[in-house]
Amino acid sequence: HYAVNSCLIPLCTLDSAAVTTVEGIGSTHTILHPVQERIAKAHGSQCGFCTPGFVMSMYTLLRNNPHPTEEEIELACESNLCRCTGYRGILDGFKTFSENYCCRKQLKEAEVESQEILGKIINTKHTLLSMVIIDIKNTMACKLYKLSELKSYDPSQDLIFPPELLVIKEQPIDSLCITGEKLTWYRPSTLHELLYLKKQHPKAKLVVGNTEIGIQMKLKRLSYSVLISPCEIPQLHTVKFSGEGIEIGACTTLTRFNNILKEAIEKLPEYKTRIFTAIVEMLRWFAGCQIRNVGNEYFYGFKQARRRTDDLAIVNAGMRVILTKSKQQSNYFIEDCTLCYGGMAPTTVIARQTSRFLIGRPWNETLTESVIEWLCQDMPLPFSAPGGLIEFRKALAASFFFKFYLLVTSQILLVEKDNLTTPIPSSYLSACSSFKRDPMQNIQVYEKVDPTQMQDSGMRKPIVHRSALMQATGEAIYCDDMPIFSNELNAGLVLSKKPHALIKSIRYDKALQMPGVVSHATVADIPGTNHFGPLVMDDEVFATTEVTCIGKIIGVVLADTKENADNAANAVEIEYEELPAILTIEEAIEAESFYEPIHDRQVGNVEQEFEISDHVLEGELRVGGQEHFYFETQCCLALPKLENGEIEIFASTQSPFETQMTIARALAVPANRVVCRVKRIGGGFGGKESRTVGLTTAIAVAAQKVRRPVRCALDRDIDMSITGTRHPFLFKYKAGFSNDGTIRALKIRIYSNAGNTLDLSPGVMDRALIAFRSCYHFENVDIAGYPCKTNIPSNTAFRGFGSPQGMLLTETVLTDVANTCGISQLKVRQINLHQDGDLTHYNMVIEKSRAQAVLDKVIEKCQYEYRKLQVDSYNRENRWKKRGIAVIPTGFPISYPIKFLNQGGALVMIYVDGSVLLSHGGTEMGQGLHTKLTQICSHVLGVPVGKVHMIETSTSSVPNATATSASVATDLNGGAVLNACEKLRDRIAPYQAANPKGKWEDWVQAAYFDRVNLSANGFYRLPDHVNYDWSTHTGIPFYYITYGAAVSEVEIDTLTGDYHILRSDIVMDVGKSINPAIDIGQIEGAFIQGVGLFTLEEQYFSPDGHLLTRGPGTYKLPTCTDIPNEFYIYLLPNVPNEKAVFSSKGIGEPPLFLGSSVLFAIKAAVDSARQDVGLGLIYRLDSPATCERVRMLCQDQITTAIKPSIREPNEKSWAMHV
């Protein structure tokens, strides 16, 4: 049984194979498979788009191994990606298939519930768990689900493998030829036939795993007329054992290869399997692997990727050396040597000059310094070399050799002990080890439900996401899952290929003559307005005379299939007259290319305070953009109604109302003729708030033109190329402060790359201008923000909306202040925390601050002070591995700063059978909004949650709804649901009083027969003063603040820049949680998304404006191996919030910034490395803190010896940051 990617595996390879999909193993209509049940009930499914993939990976593991270990479960999941959950819930659910994990989990729960062993546990080393128990004794709980309620797994009940395929398996495989319109597929059965086919078709590609050719065809749009699959040739699957090793056929899968080596390791003597062990380790981690010596011959492999488990390396290396021992003294000489590198040239190369130089030389510590120059000669990287990172790659090449030297020498020391003339310091040995990752440990602690609460109420219970089970079975319907209409057409987008140009001509003739093409749509087909935009209508549905970025929609081609539509769209011929383009923030500053208005704010006397400050620091900080990478790409289906100009839109959007209004304006019809419907969204994070509108409008125009349904689902690379990202920011700052770390004055200039249209960039900038202060108080501030007008696709909303960038600046300043003053990082933050009564620079008085509470609690929970001492001790003993620990608090303001947006609507209907139908203005994108609002409805009406149903979000049910964003969807829509349900409750109350022994259904029927209206509209709005005016600085921009704090500990490899997270503890103030499981899931997911933003996810553009990172191959998301080894969440108790529905707080965005605790822990580790060589601690660390930035900041004899590549006249770098 193999888990495969359905988007990559060629259909032709499945001849004689049994294919099982997620729908085939269980269903909500029949019987759920335990895998499906457990990922759902462990709260491991949020938006649900990734859930089937995880289910099938785990199902495959169980079919091959019904009793897996925790390590095997993590390994099975590490190739799957998730953008919502933070992975903890997924792993937690799946690890219930491990007996050891279940025993540990039950033991923890038993310890929590038992008071008799409390004293014993407090004296153990598990201090965090002990603290949990002390709290739980009164009001806290830690069970998000019950193990006892999970269905047991019986392997005998799994699907039976088709007997007819077992018969075929024993028969010889026949040759296969499948011919299509554009491609012929051959599957030869012998080597002779393969060689013949290759001779007949010399340009034919050989397809085995299809991981390369599949991506080339899908993303690079390369086409091949002939493909040959040699996978069924017996000789290419042969495994032969001999005295010299193992001969393995070329078509052996990596999984089988790994298993073969493991079996050999178990059976053969240890000295014969040392190389096998190393290869297994390489296959596991795709990182540096250790091979023990065979005689005096040593082999080692090294690899550094953007993400540790990534298959694509930045640089990798294989090194071999044979040493000869000197007879006179205990030292060694190099008899033979081979150094091979990947990532240093277009193909793998042998560093021949370096290898020859080394032969005959003594094996000692001076080798690395000598090797650097020779490596540069062997592998000269020009300034413009593809892949970029020139100096980093050079440093890696030399660092790998240094590691090689240390590894070999450490092996010699096992034999020579104290006799070697060139021993290595014990502090150097850490370079010889790989990161050690134990199975993940986790605890989630939250407030218990009030025991006086009605039994039927769902309020404050960790209820499973209402769609989780359907998402786990593949039954959940997303936009592109809508049934295909008989006369439906597919849309292909005609996109601009220039960043800034005039359109001279557009020719559709060739495209319209291509197979399957029916029609096309352009600006000429828009009866209404072609302009749109959330704030200012400065964007065009279809470009008219000018394009201002690559990827701007110019037209739409309609065809019978998606493939035909895309091919035809690519065939449209456009002639441009290129104009000067501005791509980067720096270019915009130089050209003074900014959007108006420029907002600023001054409080106090900044310049005077600078004069009297004990210290003044100036600097710059860049925060890179971040791709939303929602798993469901942008998608819509437009369905014309053929009368009265009516049209129905099914869309994956956070803004049904804005979609409705824009389409109505474009089609020149009243809004009541346009209905936008959203069932669920496969992830949004702000990326589907405003940037979906242009696409859906273009498709609506096309559909109305041809009077037929039109569907458009973007491919991943197109989606990433045209829809915008989180705004890149550049900060220029000056800070004055006292010797005790108190900030006296801040002067900040903020520049964001807004892109080619205004979109929501002013709001993002305003958020940064306000929220940069997080939970701190600064008396004197001079701040201004400049949204830069550039020629890249317009950047847009993203979880946090400018706050994470602004807060990162503040924490960077505080970090440098602490280092300058020689005080602790914790102390400088405690000194500057805001207090109740403080007046912010945005006119808001701090009330009921929980900043000190969350900070104190996380310090207590994680034993911060004790662990800080442990980190310092570790760093004193290790030179090349360093650890860092950091504590970061946050205060995230909640609500919109614009009054009219702070409103929500709902419609609740009770039917005579007692069932309740709920509608509201918010959209479900995995954040559990529908689930929470169902709980509110259940609680107010006093009915079980199962009686309440939410069908979809529709503009025909709730009009004029604010977009689902800003962490206020529960506040606004929940307030509206509360309002509607209270009306219905009051209407039913007389019948309940008249029949107190009756049931809910009795009271409903009685009200119906008495002609009582059982339908109610609900409405909610925030107070009028929540409305900030930048021109007069009146009103307040936000209603309340959500607080949190995190402590993270990391370990870095200073020679490669790699890191892993040892532990993260998070304490959050969520008020009184409506659903603790959903809130904890949001905290974990946001935190890991923040870790990606601040340490891993990096965008690159080409010098001519093309996005280079437009898929998972080049843009790296965190995986389940990147989350903290220990991950603990604690919800602060007894902190009700009277300003939101049922005392809850908005939670979707606030935890994201806590991911920066990992960045600052990395920075603390870098500090230690720099201190070892006498370097200062005031330096610039931009975000993300990638392995490149970390390695080059850990300066040593290698980095100082690397010479920058010479830049030739007019030579451009391969890529740039915008």
Catalytic, out of 113, 1149, 1208, 1211: 1149
Q: Among candidates 1174, 1180, 967, 996, which has minimal Cα distance to 1083?
A: 967
Q: How far apart are CA 554 and CA 817, in angstroms?
A: 51
Task: Calculate the CA dihedral of residues 890, 893, 894, 899 and round it to 10 degrees.
Answer: -170
Q: Among candidates 137, 120, 145, 143, which has minimal Cα distance to 43?
A: 145
Q: How far apart are CA 231 and CA 185, in angstroms?
A: 13
Burial class (CB in 10 A: 0-12, 13-18, 19+), 365: middle
Amino acid identity, position 782: D
Pairing of strands 517-521, 600-603: unpaired
Give the SS3 label for residue 208: coil
Amino acid identity, position 494: V
The β-bridge partners of 1007 are none
E strand or H helix that includes residue 749: strand 743-755
Contact (CB, 8 A) for 287 and 307: no
Phi, psi of 959, deg, nearest 5: -85, 160
Q: How far apart are CA 78 and CA 309, in angstroms?
A: 8
Burial class (CB in 10 A: 0-12, 13-18, 19+), 1174: exposed
Alpha helices, DSSP H only, in 79-190?
A: 88-94, 99-113, 118-122, 127-136, 163-169
Number of other residues whose CB lies within 10 A of the CB of residue 1207: 13
Quote the DSSP letter at residue 753: E
Q: How far apart are CA 941 and CA 944, in angstroms?
A: 9
Pairing of strands 1040-1053, 1059-1068: antiparallel
Amino acid identity, position 1047: V
Q: How far apart are CA 457 and CA 467, in angstroms?
A: 19
Between 864-877 and 851-862, two packed helices, what is the crossing angle to 10 degrees?
A: 60
End-to-end CA distance of the chain: 45
Alpha helices, DSSP H only, in 48-205?
A: 51-64, 70-77, 88-94, 99-113, 118-122, 127-136, 163-169, 191-200
Q: How far apart are CA 595 and CA 582, in angstroms?
A: 14
Pairing of strands 916-920, 517-521: unpaired
Phi, psi of 39, deg, nearest 5: -65, -30
How far is residue 639 CA from its own chain's centroid? 33
Q: How far apart are CA 943 and CA 224, in angstroms?
A: 61
Q: Among candidates 862, 882, 839, 1215, which has minimal Cα distance to 1036?
A: 839
Tokens 């294989």 belong to residue: 318
DSSP string, 785-846: EEEEE-SSPPP---TTTTHHHHHHHHHHHHHHHHHHHT--HHHHHHHHB--TTPBPTTS-B-
Could you confirm whether 1149 is annotated as catalytic? yes
Burial class (CB in 10 A: 0-12, 13-18, 19+), 1020: buried
Amino acid identity, position 848: K
Number of other residues whose CB lies within 10 A of the CB of residue 812: 24
Would you please indicate which residues are annotated as catalytic (active-site) residues?
A: 1149
